Structure 1
Amino acid sequence: MGDLRPCKVCNFKRQHSYGLVVPSLEQLKIKGGESLGIGPGAPVSVVLEEDGTIVEDDIYFLCLPSNTKFMLLCEKETWCPVRRIEGGTAWMTRDSMLLEVDSLDGSISQVEPWWILAQQLKQDLASIITMSEADLQTLVDIPCTQLASALDFQESKVQNLQETLQRVLDRREEERQSKELLQLYLSAVEKQEAQASMEGAGDMDQQDMLEVDSGFMTRTLMVLKGKTSPETRLSTEELQAVVTKGADTMEQELGWDGQRTAALLQACQAELSSRLQQVQAIGSLRNLGQPDTRRQPDDHPQEEQDPAAGGPADMQG
């Protein structure tokens, strides 16, 4: 165990501060948690109270000077700098609630969460990057006149700001949907590969591998006849074969009536189209972030190349 080191700890609102002497970072969490009323076993992270730097190992902890002040954070609590609001001090957290501050007449008034977020923006517009989607949506939903008053901005500038916040929200949603689509695609690929591997490793009867007169594999017909939602259990090649054969051939092979066969073909066509869209979406994801080197079409056909000048006609002179 190392030498004892004097230090200070406080909670995320800085309402309580205690002096401790501990030999290690783990002991700082334990004794600091006891002093601040944090239950034993609760996950606790340690940051520097001054700037929010995360302290994760004893080596860094031992390199800090004596009497360094630390902040202990529980789940959903985040470090925030000191904020001055109308003569009072408001401590901002991720889960914002109504805060009581001193008003000009000496009475106690309540501050809405959106107003605190507005003050954060007023001090540093770059804080948009670190805001949660809930905070961004709160600022978008506030009437423009109220937000302009809190920021001391012109309404036109606030309108532009809210449009920017909405674009940030839209971009995050698009990124989330793209990630979900990619995960679905990768899961489908893994499932198909696993299924193909199991079929290849099993002892199959050679007769099951023979094609029937129509060109279908026996397995394909078995899946179509005996499975619920069979289109989801067929490979892309099998789906293409079913769709290509058409209703008449499928009626003969399956022995079904026209209505049931048409419903099956429609389901197979929809599944095939869905898989094609997924592949196209993955291709689009791969191109994200890559510069488009293709020549863009001319939006103004009248601005044609001047053969004599070698450039656009309207660029001469």
Structure 2
Amino acid sequence: MTDGRPCKVCNFTRQKSYGVIVPSLDDLKKKGCEFLGVSPSAPVTVVLEGDGTIVEDQAYFLCLPFNTKFMLLHDKETWAPARKIDGGTAWMARESVVLEADAVDSCIAEAPWWNLALQLKQDLTSIILMSEGDLQSLVEAPCSELASALGFQEKKAEELQETLQRVLDRREEERQSKELLQLYLKAVENEGRQQGATSPSSQDGAGDVDMPDGLEADSASEFMSRTLMVLKGKTSPETRLSTEDLQAVVSRGLEAMQQVLGWDAGRTAALLQACEAELSTRLQQIQAMQSISGTQQDDGKPRQGAGTATQGSS
């Protein structure tokens, strides 16, 4: 095509960019939609990628220099300037000092939350199918960046992050409830195995709570990676830890926890007291459930004295 003009076309995220040769603005729209996966019948707006100027006039299109980069916008998409991001930022470990615009867009696309945000833009109900890791990455995403990806105002994006945090908190509460129920069932199972071999020594310790073997195991690597994040990053962490983690925290003592957390003695002592109180509450709940279970079992058994008297009379 001898009268064609070489130019570039990209989508609103700059994640996809293609080079095309077209003779007119209408042909640019058609080819751009084809390359970017947009329906040919969908209305699109052509803007300059650099400053967002809308290009609607064929004569203006022909006056632009070769290799001009255009952006195609459809539906509710809006133009936004390319972001230049310091390569040393924490969420993108890059060695370069300043990234070029196209490289920045590629890096944003690699961020865990970016594709999730685009997925939410298409269907907000997809939240219920996301893992906790996905939800956490959206909560920790920069609010302004998330708003841009979703096409929201920043206030709305902040409200969405608060909602996702509540979803995470509810899942954590459900997990803790499940763990408490499993702990109770295991304690009942252990008690059932010991009923046939009762001894005076075991009777002396009848008021003690049989704790699962798992509570006695304490892996330093697991403690560091899983429990410390909860202790340092959330309010009322004692309510968010499993019973096993609470046992591990309490067993370490003040000095060890102070060294691990890097806190002063007063703050560490307050945390340990809160963990001890929470652990005590849970164990009391287990004891209460065991007591109820034992009472129900005793009510269903015939009393030995009554059985002996019956045999003697016969």
How would you bin the TM-score normalised by the shorter chain? Answer: 0.3 to 0.5
Q: Return the structure number with greater helix share.
A: 2
Higher strand fraction (1 or 2): 1
TM-score (norm 2): 0.34
Q: Higher relative contact order at CA 8 Å, sep ≥6: structure 1 or structure 2?
A: 2
TM-score normalised over the length of structure 1 = 0.33
